[in-house]
């Protein structure tokens, strides 16, 4: 009963997908204007900010339901790499006030998504 990799993959998928999706839902309501500003600071076009909806809404839904999970997880990896480069590079070698890694949440999303790229969706999914 406890040796069930498919249940483990389901837990990873649901954890990553639901937590990332909440960030996407927030951006659906609040908009992505601030991301456009960050992109402009890096001399990139502001319309690229709408790509966050792929990485924080579409990809998490794919991961949650287990449809093309590896692709959805890869999109989340890309989303997190862009977020790290654009918004969190200054925190890369920093600790938070509680002693944890300053970017531990972003790292969690990045590495969990990377694990799902290699693991796949498991048995409890629409389609691997």
Q: Is the per-residue pLDDT at 103 higher than 90?
A: yes
Q: How far apart are the first and last CA of the chain?
A: 23
What does pLDDT average to over the chain? Answer: 95
Rounded to an integer, the average pLDDT of 10-29 is: 97
- pTM of the entire predicted model: 0.94
Rounded to an integer, the average pLDDT of 77-96 is: 95
Give the model's pLDDT for residue 90: 92
Tokens of 22: 């909440």
Give 1's pLDDT tier (boundaries 50, 70, 90). Answer: confident
Cα dist. 7→30, 65, 85, 108, 123 in Å? 34, 14, 33, 19, 8
Tokens of 31: 């908009």
Q: Is the per-residue pLDDT at 128 higher than 80?
A: no
8 Å CB contact between 114 and 75: no
Measured distance CA(114)–CA(96) in Å, rounded: 24
Measured distance CA(4)–CA(10) in Å, rounded: 10
pLDDT in tens, 26-64: 999 999 999 999 999 999 999 999 999 999 999 999 999
Give 127's pLDDT tier (boundaries 50, 70, 90). Answer: confident
Rounded to an integer, the average pLDDT of 4-10 is: 97
8 Å CB contact between 125 and 67: yes
Measured distance CA(46)–CA(89) in Å, rounded: 20
């Amino acid at each position: 009963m406890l040796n069930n990799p498919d249940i483990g993959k389901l837990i990873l998928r649901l954890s990553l997908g639901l937590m990332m999706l909440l960030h996407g839902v927030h951006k659906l309501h609040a908009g992505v204007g601030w991301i456009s500003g960050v992109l402009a600071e890096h001399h990139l076009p502001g319309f690229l900010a709408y790509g966050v909806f792929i990485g924080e809404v579409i990809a998490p839904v794919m991961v949650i339901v287990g449809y093309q999970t590896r692709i959805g997880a890869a999109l989340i990896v890309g989303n997190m790499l862009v977020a790290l480069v654009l918004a969190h590079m200054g925190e890369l070698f920093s600790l938070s006030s509680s002693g944890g890694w300053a970017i531990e949440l972003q790292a969690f999303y990045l590495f969990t998504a990377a694990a799902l790229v290699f693991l796949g969706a498991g048995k409890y999914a629409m389609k691997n």
